[in-house]
């Protein structure tokens, strides 16, 4: 099996997303990027680096002989400017110039951080995404949102910078821990909820196969999620309008992620944030009781939380005010007007949020 998707930027072909189990496809595509006499630096984290850096490096040697690698300690707490600075220092030491290229080998933390380093080093160099977590395969590697956390505020500093290629090999998912694997379903369920009722239904029908990581079902899931994300980001690459729909569950989810000091995973916080947003949608009359129950049960089915403990709802509302979707002091909140149909609502008050939060704080 395998899939290929072409992503357009400003209506021109921009990069391919390749979902294939053989690294031969990556090498073919890298060769097209004219890297023979260029330097290439693989950026990875300590966990992914241990498993896959040597293997990938050996294969890439077929395309260029000048390969460097930079590995940082795994974890969201390292997605910050300090690590970016260490990347810059390394690239300067190795005399990387504007024609050279970075390869992000890892999950969303590596992808966001490497993409930001590529966007800013020498005012911008090329980079390739090789996502290795489920979450990064279905979401973070696509669409060119790069960046880091700042003073623990999520993705506060960043840039839009499109990759030259996104290549994913689903066989690497075998080493992903269960908790990290299911975290990816936070974003996958989100894709169904915001854009595709039939996909949401299909996910529920295929839960058992997905839980045992059946390769074909997983590849189809990744492909369908990538297609949904591609369609949204192509129409609105820099989030002037409907790209904000991809932020469903994130307004409160990001606030919870920060307040929990990153002890919960991104996908887990998105799941809790989606549960809160679903309650809010129900309170506004946009979802039926049955739809709300269906959403909460599906999130549980994929071993994700819909509640959180030991947080003050007022703190969550306060932290949500730093959301990047604030405009003139008003929050653009993403709600569901039925499953598969997300909408942007700028009339949500603190009281609306507090009422929804009372249903998810235990």
Ligand X SMILES: NC(=O)c1ccc[n+]([C@@H]2O[C@H](COP(=O)([O-])OP(=O)(O)OC[C@H]3O[C@@H](n4cnc5c(N)ncnc54)[C@H](O)[C@@H]3O)[C@@H](O)[C@H]2O)c1
Q: How far is residue 121's CA from residue 98's CA, in Å, rounded to a whole number?
A: 8
Q: How far apart are CB 83 and ligand LNCXM5UN at their closest, in Å?
A: 17
**Which residues carry out catalysis?**
123, 145, 187, 229, 239, 243, 247, 250, 254, 266
Q: Given 3-state DSSP classes, what are the helix, strand and coil percentages for the chain, each rounded to the nearest 5?
A: 50, 20, 30
Query: Which residue in 102, 172, 164 sits closest to 136, CA to CA?
Result: 172
Kindly state whether residue 220 participates in binding ligand X, applying the rule CB under 6 A. Answer: no
* Part in contact with ligand X (CB under 6 A); list of ranges 8-16, 102-110, 163-171, 331-339: 102-110
Considering only 106, 163, 192, 249, the residue that binds ligand X (CB under 6 A) is 106
Query: What is the pairing mode between strands 145-150 and 153-160?
Result: antiparallel
Site for ligand X in 151-210 (CB under 6 A): 155, 172-173, 175-176, 180, 183, 187
- Residue 145 assigned ligand-binding role: yes
Q: How far apart are CB 154 and ligand LNCXM5UN at their closest, in Å?
A: 6
**In 214-354, where do the E strands start and end?**
326-327, 330-331, 333-336, 342-345
Identify whether the C-beta of residue 254 lies closer than 8 Å to the C-beta of residue 269.
yes
Binding mask 276-315 for ligand X (x = CB under 6 A): ----------------------------------------
Identify whether the C-beta of residue 98 lies closer than 8 Å to the C-beta of residue 166.
no
Kindly state whether residue 243 participates in binding ligand LNCXM5UN, applying the rule CB under 6 A. Answer: yes
Nearer to ligand X, 267 or 313 (CB): 267
SS3 of residue 182 by DSSP: helix
Kindly state whether residue 143 participates in binding ligand X, applying the rule CB under 6 A. Answer: yes
**Region of residue 303 (left: phi > 0; alpha: psi -120 to 50; beta: else):** left
Which residues have a Cβ under 8 Å from the Cβ of 143 and sit 6 or more positions away? 229, 232, 233, 237, 243, 246
Cβ neighbourhood burial of 333 (10 Å; 0-12, 13-18, 19+): buried
Kindly state whether residue 108 participates in binding ligand X, applying the rule CB under 6 A. Answer: yes
Binding mask 238-277 for ligand X (x = CB under 6 A): ----------------------------xx----------
Q: How far is residue 251's CA from residue 5's CA, in Å, rounded to a whole number?
A: 29
* Part in contact with ligand X (CB under 6 A); list of ranges 139-147, 275-283, 316-324, 348-356: 139-147
Identify whether the C-beta of residue 271 lies closer than 8 Å to the C-beta of residue 189.
yes
Kindly state whether residue 164 participates in binding ligand LNCXM5UN, applying the rule CB under 6 A. Answer: no
Nearer to ligand X, 20 or 266 (CB): 266
Q: How far is residue 206's CA from residue 190's CA, in Å, rounded to a whole number?
A: 16
Give residue 245's Cα distance to chain centre. 14
Q: How far apart are CB 151 and ligand LNCXM5UN at their closest, in Å?
A: 14
Q: How far apart are CB 106 and ligand X at their closest, in Å?
A: 6
- Residue 111 assigned ligand-binding role: yes
Annotated binding site: 108-112, 132-133, 145, 154, 187, 250, 266
Which positions lie near ligand LNCXM5UN, rule CB under 6 A?
Answer: 139, 143, 145, 154-155, 187, 239, 243, 246-247, 250, 324
What does the binding site for ligand X look like in residue numbers (CB under 6 A)?
45, 47-48, 51, 74, 76, 79, 106-110, 112, 132-133, 135-136, 139-140, 143, 145, 155, 172-173, 175-176, 180, 183, 187, 266-267
């Amino acid at each position: 099996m395998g899939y290929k998707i072409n992503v357009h930027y400003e209506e021109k072909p921009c990069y391919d997303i390749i979902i294939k189990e053989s690294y031969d496809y990556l090498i073919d595509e890298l060769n097209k990027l004219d890297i023979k006499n260029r330097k290439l630096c693989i950026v990875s984290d300590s966990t992914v680096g241990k498993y896959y850096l040597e293997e990938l490096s050996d294969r890439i040697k077929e395309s260029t002989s000048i390969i460097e690698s930079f590995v940082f300690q795994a974890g969201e707490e390292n997605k910050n400017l300090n690590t970016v600075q260490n990347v810059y220092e390394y690239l300067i030491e190795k005399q990387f110039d504007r024609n050279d290229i970075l390869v992000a080998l890892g999950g969303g933390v590596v992808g966001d951080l490497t993409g930001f380093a590529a966007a800013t080093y020498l005012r911008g160099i090329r980079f390739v995404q090789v996502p290795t977590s489920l979450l990064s395969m279905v979401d973070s590697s696509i669409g060119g949102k790069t960046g880091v956390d700042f003073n623990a505020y999520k993705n506060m500093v960043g840039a839009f910078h499109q990759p030259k290629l996104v290549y994913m090999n689903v066989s690497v998912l075998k080493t992903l821990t269960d908790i990290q694997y299911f975290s990816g379903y936070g974003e996958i369920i989100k894709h169904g909820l915001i854009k595709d009722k039939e996909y949401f239904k299909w996910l529920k029908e295929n839960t058992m196969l997905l839980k045992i990581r059946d390769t074909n079902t997983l590849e189809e899931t990744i492909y369908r999620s990538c297609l949904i994300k591609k369609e949204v980001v192509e129409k609105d690459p820099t989030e002037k309008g409907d790209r904000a729909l991809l932020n469903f569950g994130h307004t409160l989810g990001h606030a919870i992620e920060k307040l929990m000091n990153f002890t919960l995973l991104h996908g887990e916080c998105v799941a809790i944030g989606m549960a809160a947003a679903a309650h809010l949608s129900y309170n506004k009359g946009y979802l039926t009781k049955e739809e709300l129950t269906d959403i909460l049960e599906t999130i549980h089915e994929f071993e994700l939380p819909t509640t959180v403990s030991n947080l003050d709802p007022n703190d969550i509302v306060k932290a949500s005010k730093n959301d990047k979707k604030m405009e003139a002091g008003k929050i653009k909140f993403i709600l569901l007007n039925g499953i598969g149909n997300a909408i942007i609502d700028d009339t949500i008050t603190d009281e609306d949020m507090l009422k929804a939060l009372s249903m998810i704080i235990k």
